[in-house]
Amino acid sequence: MLIYRSMYLSQIKSQSITDFKKHLAENSAEFRGWLEQQGIVSFSLFNQGAFLFIYLEASKKAFSFSWETPYSERLEQWPGQAVLRNSIPLLDVFHDGVPEELNEWRGDRTVEQRSGSMVYLKPEQYCSYVFYHYQLQEENPESFNKTYTIGAYENMLFSYSELPESFSLSKPEGKLKTNHTPENWQEVMLPHFQLDQDEDVIWKTLETLFVL
């Protein structure tokens, strides 16, 4: 079975944050069953303030995630298409690996930790950030963890990864034959981020609300 992964963003109504979390905790079994009925084989939900960050793997290529009642009643609605949406797909900025067959992608490996993090880019540095990450992705695919991926909404980034690090049996071939990725990666990346002067952690760790 081929699997396809994607990332989404939702926003809880300000007056419903506590209620949303409580309802999810009390109805986790039903929510798990609903996800499985949608063809979702892996689902991780993270929270920061009113934002909900979603990473999922589904068995359908044209999959589009949307919250059902009663969760949808507690969420803000996004315009921009013919119908309002309670979750929007994040743009793919970077992926270290590309899942194919479910058994090959997940196999019998043990996932000890699922991590979600977020950060804001300086708007004027957005193109530079995407450029460097596409270059890294295609010059040296699966260079550190095939599960690591980054999605973007405006200048907000969401990253997802699983630990311990894992790699495919056969390393995928990238689209670039160049070798321009800078060795001083962290030094080059630092000016891209929108940080307060007293911040010593760039990526903020998100609260995990649910995993499948």
Contacts of 125 (CB under 8 A, 6+ apart): 191, 192, 193
Q: Is a pLDDT exceeding 70 seen at residue 197?
A: no
pTM score, whole prediction: 0.95
- What's the full length of the chain, in residues? 212
Q: Is a pLDDT exceeding 70 seen at residue 61?
A: yes
- pLDDT confidence bin for 200, thresholds 50/70/90: confident
Where are the chain's structural domains?
4-211
Q: Is a pLDDT exceeding 70 seen at residue 60?
A: yes
What does the alpha-carbon distance between residue 40 and residue 108 come to, in Å, rounded to a whole number? 18
Q: Where are the alpha helices (DSSP H) in the chain?
A: 17-26, 28-37, 102-105, 126-139, 185-189
pLDDT at 125 (0 to 100): 98
- Provide, rounded to the nearest whole percent, the portion of the chain with pLDDT above 90: 81
- Crossing angle for the helix pair 28-37 and 17-26, to the nearest 10 degrees: 80
Rounded to 5 degrees, φ, ψ at 84 are -70, 150
Instruction: Provide the β-strand partners of residue 205.
Output: 117
What does the alpha-carbon distance between residue 9 and residue 103 come to, in Å, rounded to a whole number? 28
- Give 3-13 pLDDT, tens digit per residue: 899 999 999 99
Spatial contact of 172 and 97, defined as CB atoms under 8 Å apart: yes
- pLDDT confidence bin for 82, thresholds 50/70/90: confident
